[in-house]
Amino acid sequence: MLNTNDIMETIRMIQDDHLDIRTITMGISLLDCCDSDIDVSCQKVYNKITRLAKDLVKTGEDIEKKYGIPIINKRISVTPIAMLVGASGGDPVKYALTLEKAANAVGVNFLGGYSALVHKGFAAGDLELIRSIPEALAVTDHVCSSVNIGSTKAGINLDAVKLMGQIVRQASERTADRDCIGAAKLVIFCNAPEDNPFMAGAFHGPGEPDCVINVGVSGPGVVRAALAKFGQDKNITEIADIIKKTAFKITRMGQLVGTEASQRLGVPFGIVDLSLAPTPEVGDSVAYILEEIGLEKCGCHGTTATLAMLNDAVKKGGVMASSMVGGLSGAFIPVSEDAGMIAAARCGSLKIEKLEAMTAVCSVGLDMICVPGDTPAEVISAVIADEAAIGMINSKTTAVRLIPAIGKQVGDELEFGGLLGSGPVMALNTYSPAKFINRGGHIPAPIQSLKN
Footprint of other proteins (CB under 8 A): 1-4, 6-11, 15, 62, 65-69, 249, 252-253, 255-256
**With respect to other proteins, which residue has the nearer C-beta, 66 or 178?**
66
Residue type at 346 in one-letter notation: R
In three-state secondary structure terms, 248 is helix
**With respect to other proteins, which residue has the nearer C-beta, 6 or 238?**
6
**55 Rama class: left (phi>0) / alpha (psi -120 to 50) / beta:** alpha
Query: How far is the first Cα of the chain from the last one, in angstroms, to the nearest whole number?
Result: 53
**329 Rama class: left (phi>0) / alpha (psi -120 to 50) / beta:** left
**With respect to other proteins, which residue has the nearer C-beta, 15 or 429?**
15
**With respect to other proteins, which residue has the nearer C-beta, 202 or 272?**
272
The CA distances from residue 299 to 37, 161, 418, in Å, are 52, 27, 25
Burial 324-354, CB ≥16 within 10 A → b, else e:
ebbbbbbbbbbbbbbbbbbbbbeeebbebeb
The closest alpha carbon to 252, from 29, 45, 9, 59, belongs to 9
In three-state secondary structure terms, 8 is helix
Q: How far is the CB of 197 from other proteins (least distance, A)?
A: 19
Q: Quick check: 34 and 41 in contact, CB under 8 A?
A: yes
Residue type at 16 in one-letter notation: D
In three-state secondary structure terms, 343 is helix
**With respect to other proteins, which residue has the nearer C-beta, 220 or 340?**
220
Q: How far is the CB of 75 from other proteins (least distance, A)?
A: 22
The closest alpha carbon to 419, from 56, 203, 109, belongs to 109
**With respect to other proteins, which residue has the nearer C-beta, 253 or 368?**
253
Q: How far is the CB of 386 from other proteins (least distance, A)?
A: 40
In three-state secondary structure terms, 432 is coil
Q: How far is the CB of 246 from other proteins (least distance, A)?
A: 11
Q: How far is the CB of 55 from other proteins (least distance, A)?
A: 15
Peptide bond into 176 cis (omega under 30): no
Q: How far is the CB of 325 from other proteins (least distance, A)?
A: 16
Q: How far is the CB of 262 from other proteins (least distance, A)?
A: 15
**With respect to other proteins, which residue has the nearer C-beta, 11 or 357?**
11
Q: How far is the CB of 98 from other proteins (least distance, A)?
A: 33
**With respect to other proteins, which residue has the nearer C-beta, 2 or 450?**
2
**With respect to other proteins, which residue has the nearer C-beta, 66 or 229?**
66
Q: Quick check: 24 and 74 in contact, CB under 8 A?
A: yes
Residues 286, 350: Cα–Cα separation, whole Å: 13
Q: How far is the CB of 251 from other proteins (least distance, A)?
A: 10
User: What is the sign of the dihedral through the CA atoms of 384, 390, 391 and 393?
Assistant: positive
**With respect to other proteins, which residue has the nearer C-beta, 3 or 237?**
3
Residues in the chain: 452
Residues 431, 39: Cα–Cα separation, whole Å: 46
Q: How far is the CB of 253 from other proteins (least distance, A)?
A: 6
**With respect to other proteins, which residue has the nearer C-beta, 68 or 121?**
68
Residues 44, 77: Cα–Cα separation, whole Å: 16
Query: Residues near 329 by Cβ (< 8 Å), separated by ≥ 6?
Result: 273, 274, 275, 314, 315, 318, 363
With helix as H, strand as E and coil as C, how does 92-127 read?
A: CHHHHHHHHHHHHHHCCCEEEEEEEECCCCCCCCHH
Three-point CA angle 310, 315, 316, nearest 5°: 95
**With respect to other proteins, which residue has the nearer C-beta, 46 or 67?**
67
Q: How far is the CB of 4 from other proteins (least distance, A)?
A: 6
